[in-house]
Amino acid sequence: MKEKVIIAALNNYEDNKDFESSLKEIERLAESVGAEVCGTLVQNNMKIDSKTYIGKGKAEELKEASENLNVDTIIFNNELTGSQQKNLEKIIKKNIIDRTQLILEIFANRAHTPISKMQVELAKAKYMLPRLKGSFQSFDRQGGGIGTRGGGETLMETDRRHILLRINYLKDRLQKDEVTRDNKRRNRNRTDKKVVSLFRIYQCW
């Protein structure tokens, strides 16, 4: 069964044709990951709300539409900050993703080689890192204990550390792979040159 979604967008384009084109594109992107687009909600406003991206009234309207249409996810046709995404999820009570997240999901579905999978994972980790801010509660507000990393350390800090370690690991793996591929290319070129030289010597005979 297809996942039901609503496309939400802020129309702050100067040219309406560009906006319409952008909407059609994100609908195609959503459908490419198996989603069923049940509706589109547009706010015509040049100003972005710092807390909810669209206005709070429009967010409430989006909540009502998502309940009536029984959708699972709202896809925003723009990039949201971590706080905007969190605030929208609090109001709408649905899964909220933005354009970048959707594109990363498409890349993940199309990644088949170990290298391409690592590249997508790295991109996802970089995307998620700034979105952890203020999302988690404290392990222990009273003080440190056996097996803890210090009093009052938060789940956010632990997840942040984990993601940073993973980013560094993936960067290192990809860099080493690039060096390996460069060495293989150089060795191939040297081999090809030797074959050409031998062929020329053979021709001289």
Q: Do 10 and 51 belong to one domain?
A: yes
Domain with 55 in it: what CATH number? 3.40.50.11060
Please check the confidence at residue 171 and state whether its pLDDT lies above 80: yes
Q: Do 16 and 82 belong to one domain?
A: yes
Token pair for 84:
């905007």
pLDDT digits (tens, 9 = 90+) for 16-65: 888 899 999 999 999 999 999 999 999 988 789 999 999 999 999 999 99
User: 28 exposed, middle or buried (CB, 10 Å; 0-12, 13-18, 19+)?
Assistant: exposed
Residue where a domain terminates, one of 105, 137, 167: 105
pLDDT of the residue at 151: 42
Q: Do 132 and 176 belong to one domain?
A: yes
Domain count of the chain? 2
**11/124 Cα distance (integer angstroms):** 27
Of all helices (H) and strands (E), which one includes residue 79? none
Question: How many percent of the chain have pLDDT more than 70?
Answer: 78
The residue range of the domain holding 30 is 3-105
Confidence class for position 144, pLDDT limits 50, 70, 90: very low
Q: Looking at the DSSP assignment, which residues form a beta bridge with residue 40?
A: 7
Stated pTM of the model: 0.70
Dihedral of CA atoms 35, 36, 39, 44 in degrees, nearest 10, equals 30
pLDDT of the residue at 141: 37
Q: Do 94 and 9 belong to one domain?
A: yes
pLDDT of the residue at 196: 52
pLDDT of the residue at 200: 54
Among 2-11, 133-142, 188-197, the range of highest mean pLDDT: 2-11
SS3 content of the chain, % helix, strand, coil (to 5): 60, 15, 25
Q: Do 100 and 122 belong to one domain?
A: no
Secondary structure E strands in 65-159: 73-76, 95-98
pLDDT of the residue at 133: 56
119-145 average pLDDT score: 64
pLDDT of the residue at 140: 37
Q: Do 60 and 127 belong to one domain?
A: no
pLDDT of the residue at 50: 93
Tokens 């959503």 found at: 30
